[in-house]
Amino acid sequence: MTRTTARTTRTGGTLRALRALRPVRVGGALLAAAALLVSACSARDTDTHTTSAAEAVLAALPRSTPSALSPYYAQKLTWRDCGVPGFQCATMKAPLDYARPDAGDVRLAVTRKKATGPGSRLGSLLVNPGGPGGSAVGYLQQYAGLSYPAAVRARYDMVAIDPRGVARSEPVTCLDDRAMDAYTQTDITPDSRKETDALVGAYRRFAEGCGAHAPNLLRHVSTVETARDMDILRSVLGDRKLNYVGASYGTFLGATYAGLFPDRVGRLVLDGAMDPSLSARRLNLEQTAGFETAFRSFARDCVRQTDCPLGGPGATPEQVGAKLKAFFRRLDAHPVPTGDASGRLLGEALATTGVIAAMYDQTAWPQLREGLTSAMKQNDGAGLLLLSDSYYERDANSHYANLMYANAAVNCLDLPAAFSSPAQVEEALPAFEKASPVFGEGLAWASLNCGYWPVAATGAPHRIEARGAAPIVVVGTTRDPATPYTWARSLSRQLASARLLTYQGDGHTAYGRGSACVDSAINTYLLRGTPPAAGKRCS
């Protein structure tokens, strides 16, 4: 569900990659991370669900702004110093309910860094790192506003808005930190009725906590509503068109904007693309296969290293996976110490999340090998716990950001739940375990979380065509764990004006991750408006 694929500060060491990734992951870790991008039809869905999805197309909104929304489009932002050198902050109002604009406001946090020059200003460039639930404000202030190519920062005002329910924009909260600790340690591969009941109880408590905290907001954090908020921001910034770079779930948000406002599309980059036409069950299943693809790439690399604890030269990915799965089973029965001040032990759930976290970027693989070696050979789970905590955005003071709460709130509203009962999960287990012998069982059970959500879903699978939009660049990475490459191909075929840019490599998303070919193609598009040639591939 970058969002991770998720899942903002680059601060050295192999942990740098994890911190940069946190906001852009979209799915895959367990429990709270389970729906990072999923939710949808029933557990009995098969490939035939795509027939109805193909018939449903996101319709564009009228070009004229409804009079009831005019005050929002005409508002003036009051910019102020926000304590981060070079950045200004403001608060923007949007209607809580677009169907009833007079029913109250939601207040949204905005930040910008003005174009530095030289060169003429091209307007604003809105960025979103994904999730859903990743803080776009934090991402811009801590990474994008400092590390995007200098030529891009010179010509654009860099802008970010935290979506409704996220971080600084009336954040959704579901559990206190102690309860969240317990939640993340819940057994996600139940072996008995008692363990299944405990897992269902954890999902129910999580959902009830979200519902108790913000019952009204919880009904209005959908991707469609956030896309409409983005159009208000475009207007108050004084831009005729929206220029945008979205990663992971941010691609779904950007594509939704294009579908609603095709005539207002400027230069849109959708990196690590999602496929809006799929049901939640299908999204979960295909993402499970994506993590298996990434793990096999890790496994092939691991056995070539001298410090691989999962096998030596010549070991196959299947053998490496079987050894890791056996280790998870061992932890399920006998968790290992971590030295954590809160007394947490490393069990199967936290260890699995730690491994999944490292799949987002191959520069984290050395840290994963080290963490696995310590846990498997030295009875020390601290390394894998650190990876898991980074994924969940749990800080050194034992406090969780609201990433996972907002993540569930958005996903469970955007699509009907993948599963609504343990029986449906059990029926689907063979397909998930086939998709990933290592992660399939846990990810199948993790897909049950929206089944107990207190608010009914308002969205459904649909195609996005955005006919009439300017050229849109869709980027896909061939071994992306969280947003499989097939999703980028599918989205590029749906969007009438899309150009697909393919990165042949590992990791989640491609822009700014080391490929001069990818970066050059995207920079040229952002600065000159020239999209990549059809079928362009980079490595």
Distance in angstroms (rounded) separating the CA atoms of residues 348 and 345: 10
Residue of 480, 492, 497, 515 with catalytic role? 480
Residue of 248, 436, 447, 515 with catalytic role? 248
Distance in angstroms (rounded) separating the CA atoms of residues 491 and 505: 19
- What pairing do the DSSP bridges indicate for beta strands 105-113 and 123-128? unpaired
Q: At what angle do helices 382-392 and 365-377 cross, to 10 degrees?
A: 130
Distance in angstroms (rounded) separating the CA atoms of residues 423 and 440: 16
* Token pair in block for residue 390: 């980074």
Side-chain-facing half-sphere of 200: CA atoms under 13 Å: 14
Specify the 3-state DSSP secondary structure of 479: strand
Eight-state DSSP code of residue 346:
B
Specify the 3-state DSSP secondary structure of 265: strand
Whether residue 480 lies in the annotated active site: yes
* CA–CA–CA angle 221, 248, 268 (5° rounding): 90
Q: Tell me the chain's radius of gyration from C-alpha atoms.
A: 22
Cβ-proximal residues to 77 (8 Å cutoff; 6+ apart), any chain: 90, 91, 92, 110, 236, 237
Distance in angstroms (rounded) separating the CA atoms of residues 229 and 1: 21
Cβ-proximal residues to 16 (8 Å cutoff; 6+ apart), any chain: 10, 363
Whether residue 105 lies in the annotated active site: no
Strand order in the sheet with 156-161: 80-81, 88-95, 105-113, 156-161, 123-128, 242-247, 265-271, 472-479, 498-506, 537-538
* Token pair in block for residue 535: 């079928």
Distance in angstroms (rounded) separating the CA atoms of residues 137 and 197: 39
Whether residue 436 lies in the annotated active site: no
Distance in angstroms (rounded) separating the CA atoms of residues 157 and 114: 4
Residue in 438, 442, 431, 435 with CA at minimum distance from that of residue 319: 438
Active site (catalytic) residues: 248, 480, 508
